[in-house]
Amino acid sequence: MSNCFTMILMKIVSVLLSFVLLGIGASGNNELLVIDYYKETCPLAEEIIRYQVEAAVVKDPRMAASLLRLHFHDCFVMGCDASVLLDSDGDMISEKQAGPNVNSLRGFEVIDKIKYYLEEACPLTVSCADVLAIAARDAVVSRGGPSWKVPLGRKDSLKASFDGANQFIPAPNSSLETLIANFKQQGLSIGDLVALSGSHTMGKARCLSFRQRVHDVNTEEYYDKYKRYTTFRRILRSICPRSGKDFQLAPLDFNTPARFDNHYFLNILQGRGLLLSDNVLVSEDHEGEILKQVWAYASNQDLFFASFVESMINMGNILGDNEGEIRKNCRFVNN
């Protein structure tokens, strides 16, 4: 049996085991997440969500990456509880206003539309947090990525955490050490970090997010070492000058920006990751273990897909505390 086939088999077994062990989230919550949670109470829930996600992505292909990012930014703040969807209300400041999210995070109207149809079909049954988890899966599938059974049964948070969003969501200029610590704080491993970073195989980023990557003098040594990548750097500088054009967009993957594939790992091995936080996976990995994982994913898309599915389940299992509800409107708590 080849080593690659053995690695894929081990990943598949790990995914299957994770379905069995889903009762304990990374935060220690004992609430049970199960497959087909809405089979009896709202049997058309996943079909409704899938249809709306597919329609949104056909209209705007970039929306696939945006919906996946919504789920990520939700789970990294107090767990996967739809806190990111709450608007500011009274003394509560929305996470949408936090640095990593403001004028950047998108897809809220798609979630609103999904929730409207779910409330029509089965009122106060499907949580907004579960909608985010399913929509993220369907977004990946819509762009050619893997599918998986999403464990469900999350509750919606009664509050948002503006400070938490500023503190826990990884920055695009993070060092490898910072990224590892950030994921560890969420109960996620270095393997999860690498696999989930592969989501940058689709979507776009603002000039604000990668300006340092192409203009900071601290990166000069990196580019001097890899002179064959200076053309790519000149392209980025034309898109994102030292000042101005803050919201100019560039694809995270210049080769296949609208496809979910393993090209992200090929890109960073060639010095063509858009963000500093992409390139540090190969430029700051002094032990070489992460680099081995990157090479494995660059060489074998099926292996990356299997690992990505496992890590998405791990991330979706960050549950936070037990306090919650099923919101009628994802933007506001029920009153």
Averaged over 7-23, what is the pLDDT? 43
Q: Is residue 333 part of a domain?
A: no
Q: Is residue 327 part of a domain?
A: no
Q: Is residue 109 part of a domain?
A: yes
Closest by Cα among 80, 113, 85 to 101: 85
Provide the percentage of residues in the chain whose pLDDT is more than 70. Answer: 86
pLDDT at 32: 81
pLDDT at 219: 54
**Two structure tokens written together for 93:** 């400041």
pLDDT at 19: 40
Cα–Cα distance for residue pair 313/5, rounded to 1 Å = 22
pLDDT at 144: 97
pLDDT digit string (tens) for 135-190?
A: 999 999 999 999 999 999 999 999 999 999 999 999 999 999 999 999 999 999 99
DSSP secondary structure code for residue 173 in this structure = T
Q: What total of structural domains would you count in the chain? A: 1
Q: Is residue 184 part of a domain?
A: yes
Cα–Cα distance for residue pair 173/241, rounded to 1 Å = 17
Q: Which of 9-13, 194-198, 206-210 has the lowest mean pLDDT?
A: 9-13
What type of residue sits at position 222? Answer: Y
- The rounded Cα 45 to chain-centroid distance in angstroms is 22
pLDDT digit string (tens) for 211-255?
A: 888 887 565 555 444 444 577 888 899 999 988 888 999 999 999
**C-alpha count within 13 angstroms, C-beta hemisphere, residue 185:** 16
Contact assessment for residue 71 and residue 132, using Cβ atoms and an 8 Å cutoff: yes
Element holding 204 (H helix, E strand)? strand 204-206
323 against 105, higher pLDDT: 105
Range of the domain at 95: 3-196+305-316
Please tell me the pTM assigned to this model.
0.88
Q: Is residue 94 part of a domain?
A: yes
301-328: burial string, b at 16+ Cβ within 10 Å, e else = bbbbbbbbbbbbbbbbbbbbeeebebbe
Closest by Cα among 75, 169, 93 to 130: 75
**Two structure tokens written together for 173:** 């200029």
Just list the catalytic residues.
73
Averaged over 10-31, what is the pLDDT? 42
Q: Is residue 161 part of a domain?
A: yes
Q: Is residue 56 part of a domain?
A: yes
Q: What are phi and psi of 329, to 5 degrees?
A: -120, 125
pLDDT at 22: 41
Cα–Cα distance for residue pair 237/241, rounded to 1 Å = 5
Q: What is the CATH number of the domain that holds 110?
A: 1.10.520.10
Q: Is residue 74 part of a domain?
A: yes
Contact assessment for residue 89 and residue 83, using Cβ atoms and an 8 Å cutoff: no
